[in-house]
A and B are shown apart, each in its own frame.
Chain A
Amino acid sequence: MKIDLTILAPYVGFLAEGALLTAEVCAVALVGSVILGMLVAIARTSQLAWVRGLAFAYVDLFRNIPFLVQLFFFYYGLPEIGIYIDAFTTGVIALSISGGAYASDAIRAGILAIDNGIIEAAEVSGLPRRVIFTRIVLPIALRTSVRPLGSVLINMILTSSILSTITLNELTGNARIVTSETFRPFEVYVVLLLVYAALTYLVSIAISLLHRWLNRDMQPEVN
């Protein structure tokens, strides 16, 4: 059998639709996981031992259980307790919760890396604790953790392919449909492999640029 990529030409639009859905899911899940990660990172750097323990349990659990199992837990479990939501919402929830575990680690590292002097200076200036956290600690932590958060996003893009198992027709889901129509699995999946690799490569370039831009005032002066 010869490799013939032209066979895919009529399906480019269909695959692009899937890619768009992948992008949508990942964008929403990224926002969800960064918010969740921020809250959990705050909990993990808390002074209360039980809050720290609870946050650690969440991170430990969701990092050590396969995403597929988490996804099925939500997909089959939520209707059981009377919550009927579509595959898209389930996918976003599952991705956010599992991504939140990874994001919290990145943000926590950013918080722990903050110089004590900065916090002490803020305290001496008479800022209340809440303001110190939201206006000083978080912005610095988020800025330094852009790169690790970026790899969380890249992982999320790759993980989102698993959502095709719960009937969400994102990029991989649509590719499966194309395969069953063309009977050309090799061509379809090779192209898909390269598309995902290109997509994540572009995202990683964008993250590097964002990191450079956010930390522009920390760059040494170049004369």
Chain B
Amino acid sequence: MRYTEFTPFDLWLLTQGLGVTIGLFLATSLLGVLIGVVWGVIRFYRVPVLTQLITFVSEILKNSPVLVQLFLVFFGFPGLLKMNVTPVTAALITLSANTAAFVYVIAVSAIESIGRDQIEAARVFGLTRWQVLRHVIAPQAAAFSIGPLTALLVNQLQVTSLISVIGVMDLAKIGANLNLRTLKPFIVWTAVGILYYLAAKLVAMLGSALEKRLRAHSAFRGL
């Protein structure tokens, strides 16, 4: 005999799943943005070989399915590198790298969006390349990239659902388990869908609030 009815405990399970999803999303986003920005800076300094390597890796990561990347890390790495990869580690590595690949593109275009004349003027004033990056480029690039970055993160939040395939107990996995137990797919997947939708909306809202703030210096103030 099995419980086919929904119990109040299912709500707690869904909350837990949502927590895992959001936790992994935050961790991988943070790591991904950091790595992606570092890659962008490496390109800004035109480090030979490394720049080409990063561009190649980012192209591969952008143009292949995340599911395959997950399988490569989760099933492929243990055999090759003789290391133990738990589902959560595999999820962290894959999602961070994938986010980094997209952040890299955003970072590059944000850095390139700043007019050459500004950089030349700053150089003429005797600022070092780092000072130019830190005080001239970074603030403007941040404001420029926050829009695309929000869109990317909303997308990455949905990509996290794929980690359920390798067994991480995230929201999608909890949904799959509830579905198997209750056999009420419409209710279960609708509930899971709504939770994902709300989380995505929250990310989008925070992103646009941050964008408004970062763009405040260039916003039209009125006469």
Residues of A that sit less than 8 Å from B by CB: 1, 3, 61, 64-70, 72-73, 76-77, 80, 154, 158-159, 161-162, 164-165, 172, 175-176, 179, 183-190, 192-194, 196-197, 200-201
> B175 touching A69 by the CB < 8 A rule?
yes
Beyond A64-B200, A68-B161, is A159–B193 a contact (Cβ under 8 Å)? no
The listed residue with most A CB atoms (<10 A of its CB), out of B68, B159, B172, is B68
Of the candidates A1, A77, A186, the one whose C-beta lies within 8 Å of that of B72 is A186
> B168-192: contact bitstring with A at CB < 8 Å (1 yes, 0 no)?
0000100110010000111001101
> A172 touching B65 by the CB < 8 A rule?
yes
> B197 touching A65 by the CB < 8 A rule?
yes
Beyond A196-B64, A197-B59, is A64–B201 a contact (Cβ under 8 Å)? yes
> A179 touching B190 by the CB < 8 A rule?
no
> B179 touching A189 by the CB < 8 A rule?
no
Closest to A67 in B: B158
Of the candidates A64, A67, A73, A176, the one whose C-beta lies within 8 Å of that of B71 is A176
Measured between alpha carbons, how far is A197 from B62 in the docked complex, in Å?
Answer: 8
> B162 touching A68 by the CB < 8 A rule?
yes
Measured between alpha carbons, how far is A64 from B67 in the docked complex, in Å?
Answer: 19
> B28-67: contact bitstring with A at CB < 8 Å (1 yes, 0 no)?
0000000000000000000000000000000110011111
Measured between alpha carbons, how far is A142 from B194 in the docked complex, in Å?
Answer: 33
> B72 touching A193 by the CB < 8 A rule?
yes
48-103 of chain B: CB within 8 A of chain A: 59-60, 63-69, 71-72, 75-77, 79-80, 82
Residue B121 at the chain A interface, CB threshold 8 Å: no
> A72 touching B189 by the CB < 8 A rule?
yes
A-B interface pairs (CB < 8 A), number: 125
Closest to B80 in A: A186
The listed residue with most B CB atoms (<10 A of its CB), out of A77, A179, A190, A201, is A77
Within the complex, what minimum Cβ distance (angstroms) separates B5 from chain A?
Answer: 17
| Tally of B interface residues using CB under 8 Å | 40
> B72 touching A65 by the CB < 8 A rule?
no
Additional A-B contact list (14), CB under 8 Å, known A64-B201, A77-B185: A1-B80, A65-B193, A66-B160, A67-B161, A68-B165, A69-B193, A73-B185, A77-B186, A158-B63, A172-B68, A185-B72, A193-B60, A196-B63, A200-B64
Closest to B21 in A: A66
> A162 touching B158 by the CB < 8 A rule?
no
Can you list 20 A-B contacts with CB-CB less than 8 angstroms, sorted by A residue number? A1-B82, A64-B201, A66-B158, A66-B172, A66-B196, A68-B162, A68-B172, A69-B175, A69-B192, A69-B196, A72-B172, A76-B179, A76-B189, A77-B185, A80-B186, A154-B63, A162-B65, A176-B71, A184-B79, A194-B60
Residues of A within 8 A of B192 (CB): 69
The listed residue with most B CB atoms (<10 A of its CB), out of A3, A161, A172, A175, is A161
